[in-house]
Amino acid sequence: MIPKAENIESWHPAGGQLEVALLQIMQRHHHESLCQRKQTERAKMDAVRSAARVADLLVATVDGGVQELYINEKRIELEARALLATIAWYRKQTDQWLAATNAINSVLKEIGDFENWMKIMDFDCKRAIVNELNVGIKPSNDQCQHDSHQHYDRRSKYDAIVVTGDARFTRLHVHQLELEKTNLLLPGTLYPLQEHCPGKL
């Protein structure tokens, strides 16, 4: 314990100026040491508070950036899922359209095949009818003279003549409705028989 300056004379009976000066120096040094210690502690506390504040700011900044990145990541993930769902829906629609198009193409192909088959059948039927009409019996001269004065019965059949490009013609009894169906005769038109004997044009 450092004695006070006013008690030096009582503490040292001899007393002296040197001892008093040393005691004052020691007291001043002790006081300055206490003040320096207080300032050091205060500066230390301020430094700790500043460091804590800086750390909090750094953490807040980093956390803010990380939080923003996390939010952006979640948003991108949701948009990616929505995009995948949209792609799957469009893929399904495309598959359905392709299936419908293939079905329509198949139906059109079948219709075209059936139409070609009908045309072939119609052509074959017409050709068969024309061949049947062109087949006849060649009449003789006596038969031509006899048939020139004969009246023909037209109650259910009409007499018709088929031109074959030859000067000879054959008399055939063909029902008019059958000819109209084959487009060989015009509907509602009568085609009476015209007989031509051999040698007569």
pLDDT digits (tens, 9 = 90+) for 29-48: 888 889 989 999 999 999 99
- Identify the CA nearest to 165 among candidates 134, 132, 126: 134
- Identify the CA nearest to 175 among candidates 112, 139, 133: 133
Q: Is 195 left (phi over 0), alpha (psi -120 to 50) or beta?
A: beta
Give the span between the Cα atoms of 77 and 140, in whole angstroms.
Answer: 102
Give the span between the Cα atoms of 183 and 135, in whole angstroms.
Answer: 19
Q: Is the distance from CB of 20 to CB of 8 less than 8 angstroms?
A: yes
Amino acid making up residue 100: A
Q: Is the distance from CB of 23 to CB of 8 less than 8 angstroms?
A: yes
**Residue 82: its pLDDT value, please?**
94
Distances (CA, A) of 190 to 105, 134, 165, 170, 196: 46, 19, 21, 17, 19
**Residue 168: its pLDDT value, please?**
41
Q: Is the distance from CB of 26 to CB of 2 less than 8 angstroms?
A: yes
pLDDT digits (tens, 9 = 90+) for 13-34: 445 788 888 888 988 888 888 9
Placement of tokens 């040491």 in the chain:
33
Q: Where are the domains of the chain?
A: 1-98, 136-201
**Residue 66: its pLDDT value, please?**
80
Q: Which residue numbers in the chain have pLDDT < 50?
A: 2, 5, 8-9, 11, 13-14, 137-140, 144, 148-177, 179-180, 184-201
pTM of the model: 0.35
**Residue 196: its pLDDT value, please?**
42
Q: List, in sequence order, every residue forming a beta bridge with 158; answer none if it has no partner.
A: 174
- 3-class DSSP assignment, residue 135: coil
Amino acid making up residue 133: L
Give the span between the Cα atoms of 83 and 88, in whole angstroms.
Answer: 9
Residues 6+ apart with CB under 8 A from 107: none
Placement of tokens 């051999």 in the chain:
198
Give the span between the Cα atoms of 78 and 81, in whole angstroms.
Answer: 5
Give the span between the Cα atoms of 105 and 103, in whole angstroms.
Answer: 5
